Amino acid sequence: MPDDLPFDDLTSSRGLVVAATSSRSGKTTVSAALMKAYLDRGMSVQGAKVGPDYIDPQFHRLATKRASYNLDPFLTGGEEGLSRTLRHMGPHDLLLVEGVMGLFDGTYLEPPSWYLERRERDSKIPFSSTAQVAEVLGLPIVLLVDVSSVASSVAAVVAGFLEYSKSLNIAGVILNKVGSVNHEAILDRSLSRCSVPIVGKIPKLPELHTPSRHLGLIQPHEEKERMAIWLNEAALAISNSVDLDLLLALAEPPIVHRVKHRVSRLRFLDNTETPIVSVAKGSAFSFIYEENLDILKENGAKIRYFDPLTDTFDTDTTHLYIGGGYPELEIEEIAKNTVLTRDIRSFALGGGSLWAECGGHMLLGRAIDGVEAVSLLPHRSYMTKKLSLGYRVVTATRDNPLTHKGMVLPAHEYHYSLTQDDSSDLRYVGYGKSGANGVARDNIISSYMHFHLGAIQAASLKDSY
């Protein structure tokens, strides 16, 4: 049996990647609107996001009525991680993948040494770029170009992307923010020199603007009614300006690589016959990778959710998972929930397995911006205007619920807060920087690092420590 097979051997899926020439080109708006437009045609649509972002997949979920997944070779354990992620998605008619930043933007940070490449990669394509994901999965690319400040020069831009790497299939172009009929005519004439069809020409429309804040876009669940109206208007606008039939005709089945690995029980769930994992969710804690929940379930865990603003977790909980989000916006309300803060302390001090990331790490400290938090750990968090962002290669200095001492793992950081009196149990290397933060000992792992359980399973199987 061949190592690689089209994904439609498993489902009936076809796929496309919506890439762009740069950030702020309108990828999230156009991707979510396309997903909604195809859903309105009666298709089952699966959304995905290149990279580690948490918010864009929430827009995909709003549009498709199903969970969106992150496709990130660095974070999920190499190119094999992409195939594992596809297999978690379930049957669908169309896979629409939203890219990250510009098509060729990725990381030059060296991944952990245990990553095994299946093939020789195109040296022009950085790790975890949209280009890498499209190349590995064999998916056609539709290139989104913001033309608000360009006219005839658009041909040079598109031609450069077409010529830069011959290992990619840029199958079409969508022009965003077309200013007028005359502007459109100039763009058409200029691009007639390029060997790629114009699939859509989207005019400048106020209804296509998406609101944002310091960590990115406003989350759809924060303003449900407004976001539903926005999405319907955006889908209608896209349907009127993009040739949906032509775009669909460009889609092809993704290539899924057969992943040869043994089943690995997660260390996080060790020594528990029937793990009950309580997961913090709600407006303050919504940054959790869907695939992490899938992997926990595959390892026998029962998932239960609780909202730290209003309630606490069940008393039979064996494992506690508090992900990232915006606790700084809700800390005064959370502080009033003294039952929860007491229960978290009692759970951890009683030996319960606790995994906290970023916002969850902030919550476990003494205070957030001067407001009392859980006070399980000694650090205090405060918001700044400085962004800490990037992939990390992390080494644990002690055994902990997720990893063994010395295990080397990929991770990601994205936060504007800093801590005082933090521990330094997780040592990390980033691109051009290094440091340490967080607690990793006995039954607690808590830090600014976002981890992916797929990579942790892969690392365990490849003896990365």
Domains of the chain as residue ranges with CATH: 4-257 (3.40.50.300), 267-461 (3.40.50.880)
Catalytic, out of 142, 340, 358, 374: 358
Token match 């700044």: residue?
A: 384
Query: Pick the residue with more confidence: 216 or 151?
Result: 151
Of 193-197, 252-256, 268-272, 386-390, which range is least confident? Answer: 268-272
Dihedral (CA of 96, 256, 291, 330) sign: negative
pLDDT at 459: 86
Pairing of strands 380-396, 367-368: parallel
Measured distance CA(439)–CA(363) in Å, rounded: 13
2 pLDDT band, cuts 50/70/90, is very low
Distances (CA, A) of 429 to 71, 395, 399: 22, 9, 19
Region 5-23: what's the mean pLDDT? 75
pLDDT averaged over every residue in the chain:
91
Region 459-463: what's the mean pLDDT? 73
**CB neighbourhood size of 222 (10 A):** 15
Token match 């990669």: residue?
A: 121
Asked if residues 87 and 164 have their Cβ atoms less than 8 Å apart, the reply is: no
Measured distance CA(63)–CA(228) in Å, rounded: 9
Instruction: Tell whether pTM > 0.95.
Output: no
Dihedral (CA of 75, 79, 84, 86) sign: positive
Measured distance CA(425)–CA(398) in Å, rounded: 7
| Torsion angles phi and psi, residue 158, rounded to 5 | -65, -40
Token match 């972002």: residue?
A: 53
Is residue 432's pLDDT more than 90? no
The answer to whether residue 194 is catalytic is: no
